[in-house]
């Protein structure tokens, strides 16, 4: 049933509008313009045609099957629409409309769920901005159009933040496979969507903005998510960490259960990675999306600057990333890659004199050494090494050698450094503006790898 | 003496070169092109003219006084140059040259210090990339040319990182008053430069990348910095937080004393704000640079999105920012600024329906209320409110009303949101891509304010 969201042959937009700016207009336009190849049915009793498509007075009058119906009509009219969806055999109703439990109208929300259950329709929402599945060019949201394609699935319990994050991901070229606004979670909830995404071949990692799990469903959440995390990494930012934040959540999403310590325990038990900020959530998700899982925990830092090397070393120690003590053999090998005053230990300091060649030689040693599982590449802007040249060479090296050691990168400097990192990110080498952020992302990958291994062994 | 760095009437470049790319060429060019109005004397025995300026064979042959000499010649020749500087009455020698204690050549370093002391010359360095003082258009570094002007002074104990951070500040439009590379700190150290900057009218806050204080000078550091922080806020990122990081520092800067816990205690005692990452250091420095000190700790959050409001609330609670419970009067006043379904408490949630007018009305209430000391403005991208319009209106409001309540801002969204924040930053309203970073910066301002008050009262 739920799977229809990821493979609809047709989408109806109930409440499709001819008026630019209206939600029913924007959603229809986004579905069309983002390139969905299935059938699209605008539903509006007062229109024959909308945006060049034939419109129907009711979903019941559509001549063919309808898999998914997006509903953007006043709350009071939603029950009837759900009933019609049921009669029509619609699998999932994506209820954009607000005016339900979030404004105290619990009864109306219970009513639509009851009708949906009677007719075997599943409900996403209500009170959401829609959903997207980029692999099939579905953008059924009233957010921005040009969602970047990729393999991070994003679930947001906050509508406003979710839309803002769409813009954020576009600006930062963070590729999404899917995007779900869950709103009031009257029926489909975060855990169920995670289960769906765990089996989606286009999703590598699931990122969630969570305000809370519904009262009484904590155990179910842990059980379901424990299975999900065995298939895919899940990164959560949980809002309402403090009692005051919790109060703010309550006034925002409606009453939710559990203290933050409970959530923390639940996440740990389920193998969920917890991020502290929105930035960190995407930092971690990008690493999982772009890199193979770490083979082990043994990590080397390669740098051209002592300062960034120290910052990364601190970050590694503080986040539990194991920096190896290179063997004499390895030390000798690294020695060949650097000027005489460089340091062949860990961090491997190629010195400020390093050029592309030094980096590639050192990377070659690191990739070939069985002592090393993971690589942190750092670069500090110098006059003699253009970061864009280095980025190109690294990408070439990784592609040619099909490197499968988990790697994170940080280049520190100005605009050209930033451009170089953009290039690295586009080529699946996750790069971060500070060494600490790079190392932190890697630490979560290693933690996840260990969690899965440990659980599998049991 | 040291003050000559901030008011030189003339600068000599010993080792000025005609060869593009050479350090002695880049430094001379940067000094000229950044617009320094004082006299510039290239010193080079093999040239009559460099970059259109008359060159002299030795600093001794310069007909007029020389306040500052930048030295970029091989290490072995530095002692003689220092001696000549001494004879000439040069006040500060900025020794770019490397090849001293950082490569084990302690003797040579001690020698130049001895000569300098005998002649009353002070030494910055050696092994540095130079210094800058933007108020007098001095860029005596071999880093990027176009340093953004402002009122943050940056001191870096790492040369490579310091240069990279120059690029970073330019890209992020972070304005600097001064920039010092301290290198081996053979003579002038971080504390002494901080004292100098504490009295500099163009510096509002001092940001320091510190690897360590020289062995045996810990007490002196605390004493000096305690006085500095009573005049100006100081934000430090201390590398070598972990034992492994410390080891990396040792191999990078030479041996240094003290455990991280000692540093932590020293910072707290001195009133120094400690940042964990380079990003955080600038986040905090920007807030101090652009905003008045908080009058007190009572803070209000104004938002159009529940989600970001919750994230900010959590961040406030976790960092000790006191969110006020608004009085009934204040609640009534905020109620007038929002739709009926908004929340007039704290966070003040203007809802996703908010337009410019709602924000400005709410800001007016916040600015006028005696209950409120500090303001956190949040915005989450919505279709009905262009972030650039909001940014303009906020700037106008703050300028017209000469608002003097400490304010930090976070807008979440895509490119236009980013542009809006750039605009805010340019108009002295510190803005951050995530609510957590905005609140964190404010929390340090409040901490500092309390520290100074507490110490003054004693």
Q: Could you please report the per-residue DSSP string of B114-183?
A: HHHHHHT-EEE-SS--EEEEGGGTEEEESS-S-PPEEEEEEEES-HHHHHHHHHHHHHTT--EEEEEE-T
**A91 and A204 inside one domain:** yes
Q: Quick one: pLDDT band at residue B304, thresholds 50, 70, 90? A: very high
Percent with pLDDT over 90 in chain A: 89
Domain of residue B391 covers 292-457
Listed residues B229, B255, B288: the one ending a domain: B288
**B158 and B263 inside one domain:** yes
State residue A26's pLDDT score: 96
Please state, in angstroms and rounded to a whole number, the distance separating the CA atoms of residues A156 and A143: 13
Listed residues B288, B321, B339: the one ending a domain: B288
CATH code, B91: 3.40.50.261
Instruction: Give the tens place of pLDDT for each residue, B202-216.
Output: 999 999 999 988 878
**B443 and B337 inside one domain:** yes
Please state, in angstroms and rounded to a whole number, the distance separating the CA atoms of residues A143 and B380: 12
Does B345 contact A at CB distance below 8 Å? yes
Instruction: Give the tens place of pLDDT for each residue, A301-313.
Output: 999 988 999 999 9
Q: Which two tokens stand for residue A70?
A: 């997006």
**A237 and A319 inside one domain:** no
Please state, in angstroms and rounded to a whole number, the distance separating the CA atoms of residues A431 and A395: 12
Tell me the chain B residues in contact with residue A418 when contact means C-beta distances shorter than 8 Å: 171
CA distances from A343 to A306, A323, A331, B238 (A): 9, 15, 9, 21
Please state, in angstroms and rounded to a whole number, the distance separating the CA atoms of residues A323 and B243: 12
pLDDT surpassing 80 at residue B253: no
Residue A127 region by backbone torsions, left for phi larger than 0, else alpha for psi between -120 and 50, else beta: left
- Within 13 Å of residue B339, how many CA atoms lie on the same side as its CB? 12
Closest chain B residue to A322, measured at CA: B244
Within 55-74 of A, beta carbons closer than 8 Å to B belong to: none
Mark yes or no for CB contact A242/B21 under 8 Å: no
pLDDT surpassing 50 at residue B52: yes
The separation between CA B190 and the C-alpha centre of its own chain, rounded to angstroms, equals: 13
Listed residues B288, B306, B326: the one ending a domain: B288
Instruction: Give the tens place of pLDDT for each residue, A353-388.
Output: 999 999 999 999 999 999 999 999 999 998 889 999
Answer yes or no: are the C-beta atoms of A28 and A54 closer than 8 Å.
no
Answer yes or no: are the C-beta atoms of A284 and A441 closer than 8 Å.
yes
Closest chain B residue to A277, measured at CA: B436
In this prediction, residues B290-317 reach a mean pLDDT of 95
**A10 and A136 inside one domain:** yes
In this prediction, residues B430-455 reach a mean pLDDT of 96
Does B145 contact A at CB distance below 8 Å? no
Count CB-CB contacts under 10 A for residue B221: 23
CA distance B194 to chain A (A): 20
Answer yes or no: are the C-beta atoms of A166 and A134 closer than 8 Å.
no
Please state, in angstroms and rounded to a whole number, the distance separating the CA atoms of residues A92 and A5: 7
What angle is formed at CA B270 by the lines to CA B266 and CA B274, rounded to 5 degrees?
A: 70
Answer yes or no: are the C-beta atoms of A188 and A2 closer than 8 Å.
yes
**A85 and A227 inside one domain:** yes
Query: How much is the ipTM here?
Result: 0.91
pLDDT surpassing 50 at residue A342: yes
**B168 and B217 inside one domain:** yes
In which residue are the tokens 């083979």 written? A295
Q: Which of B237, B248, B443 should be substituted to probe chain A, the one whose Cβ sees the most A Cβ atoms within 10 Å?
A: B248
Count CB-CB contacts under 10 A for residue B413: 27
State residue B255's pLDDT score: 47
CA distance B165 to chain A (A): 6
Please state, in angstroms and rounded to a whole number, the distance separating the CA atoms of residues A57 and A78: 15
Residue B125 region by backbone torsions, left for phi larger than 0, else alpha for psi between -120 and 50, else beta: left
Burial of A291 (0-12, 13-18, 19+ CB in 10 A): buried
**A266 and A315 inside one domain:** no
**A250 and A338 inside one domain:** no
pLDDT surpassing 70 at residue A257: no
Handedness of CA A443, A445, A446, A451 (dihedral sign): positive
Does B104 contact A at CB distance below 8 Å? no
**B215 and B339 inside one domain:** no
Does A353 contact B at CB distance below 8 Å? no
CA distance A23 to chain B (A): 10
For every residue of A392-443, DSSP letters joined together read HHHHHHHHHTT--S-EEEEEESSHHHHHHHHHHHHTT--EESSHHHHHHHHH
Q: Largest Cα–Cα distance of chain B, in whole Å?
A: 80
Coil, strand or helix: which one is B307?
helix
What residues contact A15, with CB distance under 8 A and at least 6 apart?
A: A23, A24, A43, A44, A71, A72, A73, A96, A97
Q: How many domains does chain B have?
A: 2
Tell me the chain A residues in contact with residue B209 when contact means C-beta distances shorter than 8 Å: 307
pLDDT surpassing 80 at residue A248: no
**A358 and A274 inside one domain:** no
pLDDT surpassing 80 at residue B258: no
Residues facing residue A382 across a β-bridge: A385
> Which residue in the set B162, B249, B304 is minimally distant from A310, CB to CB?
B249
Please state, in angstroms and rounded to a whole number, the distance separating the CA atoms of residues B390 and B430: 15
Q: Which of A22, A211, A280, A413 should be substituted to probe chain B, the one whose Cβ sees the most B Cβ atoms within 10 Å?
A: A413
**A373 and A312 inside one domain:** yes
């Amino acid at each position: 049933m739920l799977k229809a969201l990821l493979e609809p042959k047709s989408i109806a937009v109930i409440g499709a509008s001819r008026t630019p700016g209206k939600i029913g207009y924007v959603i229809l336009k986004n579905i069309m313009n983002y390139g969905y190849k299935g059938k699209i049915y605008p539903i509006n009793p007062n229109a024959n045609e909308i945006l060049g498509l034939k419109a129907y007075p009711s979903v019941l009058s559509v001549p063919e099957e309808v898999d998914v119906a997006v509903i953007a009509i006043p709350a009071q009219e939603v029950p009837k629409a759900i009933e019609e969806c049921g009669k029509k055999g619609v699998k999932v109703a994506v209820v954009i409309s607000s005016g339900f439990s979030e404004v105290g109208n619990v009864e109306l929300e219970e009513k639509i769920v009851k009708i949906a259950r009677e007719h075997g329709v599943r409900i996403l929402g209500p009170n959401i901005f829609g959903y997207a599945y980029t692999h099939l060019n579905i953008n059924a949201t009233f957010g921005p159009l040009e969602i970047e394609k990729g393999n991070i699935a994003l679930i947001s319990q906050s509508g406003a933040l979710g839309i803002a994050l769409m813009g954020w991901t576009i600006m930062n070229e963070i590729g999404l496979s899917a995007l779900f606004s869950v709103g009031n979670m009257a029926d489909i909830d975060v855990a169920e969507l995670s289960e769906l995404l765990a089996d989606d071949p286009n999703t590598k990692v699931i990122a969630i903005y969570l305000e809370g799990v519904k009262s009484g469903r904590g155990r179910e959440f842990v059980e379901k998510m424990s299975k999900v995390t065995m298939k895919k990494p899940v990164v959560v930012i949980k809002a309402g960490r403090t009692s005051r934040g919790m109060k703010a959540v309550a006034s925002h999403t409606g009453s939710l259960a559990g203290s933050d310590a409970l959530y923390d325990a639940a996440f740990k038990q389920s193998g969920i990675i917890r991020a502290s900020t929105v930035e960190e959530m995407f930092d971690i998700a990008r690493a999982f999306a772009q890199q193979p899982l770490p083979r082990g925990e043994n990590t080397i830092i390669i740098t051209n600057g002592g300062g960034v090397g120290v910052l990364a070393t601190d970050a590694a120690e503080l986040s539990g990333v194991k920096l190896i003590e290179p063997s004499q053999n390895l030390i000798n090998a690294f020695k060949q890659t650097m000027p005489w005053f460089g340091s062949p230990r860990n961090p491997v300091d190629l010195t400020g004199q390093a050029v592309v060649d030094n980096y590639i030689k050192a990377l070659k040693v690191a990739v070939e050494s069985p002592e090393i599982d993971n690589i942190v590449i750092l670069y500090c802007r110098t006059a003699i090494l253009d970061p864009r040249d280095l980025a190109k060479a690294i990408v070439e090296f990784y592609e040619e050698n099909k490197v499968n050691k988990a790697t994170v990168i940080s280049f520190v400097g100005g605009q050209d450094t930033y451009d170089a990192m953009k290039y690295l990110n586009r080529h699946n080498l996750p790069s971060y503006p500070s060494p600490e952020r790079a190392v932190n992302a890697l630490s979560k990958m290693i933690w996840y790898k260990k969690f899965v291994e440990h659980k599998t062994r049991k």
